[in-house]
Copies of this chain bind each other. A is one copy, B any other.
Amino acid sequence: MSIIMHDLAGADPALRFSPYCWRTRFALAHKGLPVETIPWRFTDKAAIAFSGQERVPVIRDDAAVVSDSWAIAEHLEDHYPMPALFGGATGRAHARFVNAWADAVMIGGIARLIVRDIIDVIDVKDRDYFRQSREARFGMTLEAVQEDGRKTRVGTFRESLLPVRLVLRRQAWLGGAAPSYADFIVAGTLMWPRCSSRFAVLADDDPITEWFSRVRDLYGGLGRTAMMP
């Protein structure tokens, strides 16, 4: 039986743009596990109430219900060990650092560059919720956040990715000779701006751009064929 996954969708149900759901999509594809995704919108809290919380990704795998992309990666590794996402306990512990870094640095950095554009791709019923919750977080309009971000923060954001660049100078993937969950964390996060905005968060000649392209080619082009706005 397929794993069922609640996956954040836009007004067009084929548009999938959550950085956390993309981490899970890549992880499932890496394991070769069939998945049936159910489009979910920010205001569909009731549809995932069975998970005991209000965010996606949520997966249902037989009797197990797991939410949170990190917990899902651990669940998959524990129940379907090969091909490995983490390569053992220490690899898993170290991947948690990459996950924390992506959450602390990439998510906030990217949000300031694309948060207004997201309004244009999400479902009409989600717009008030999205604007109000995000404007409360930033303390200004989404238009002001994004305009300021693109004017003053693009360089800082790109510089903040230096650790990824330094690693890719030495190895083909963040996972070493082959992709690991570390690749899916960073590439999954980059799928978010790719699938919700036309703004280029990376420079064309950034080595990260070349690596990200290779990640999108994996698993039959899962990332390459994803709908873009």
Contacts and interface: CB of A to CB of B under 8 A. Distances in A.
Interface stretch (A49-57, A100-108, A133-141): A100-108
B94 A84 contact: no
Contact of A94 (B94, B104, B162, B166): B94
Contacts of A94: 91, 94-95, 97-98, 174-175, 180, 182
Nearest to A105: B163
Interface residues of A, number: 33
Contacts of A177: 89, 93
A229 interface: no
Contacts of A164: 97, 100
A170 interface: yes
Contact of A163 (B88, B95, B101, B175): B101
Copies in the complex: 2
Contacts of A175: 90, 93-94
Q: Among A84, A90, A92, which residue has the most Cβ atoms of chain B within 10 A?
A: A90
Contacts of A86: 90
A140 to B, nearest CB: 20
A197 B13 CA distance: 57
Interface in A159-181: 162-164, 166-167, 170-171, 173-177, 180
A96 B180 contact: no
A157 to B, nearest CB: 14
B93 A163 contact: no
Interface of A: 84, 86-98, 100-101, 103-105, 162-164, 166-167, 170-171, 173-177, 180, 182
Given A92-B176, A94-B175, 17 more contacts: A84-B90, A90-B176, A90-B180, A91-B91, A91-B93, A93-B174, A93-B176, A94-B97, A94-B182, A97-B97, A97-B98, A97-B174, A100-B163, A100-B164, A100-B167, A104-B162, A105-B163
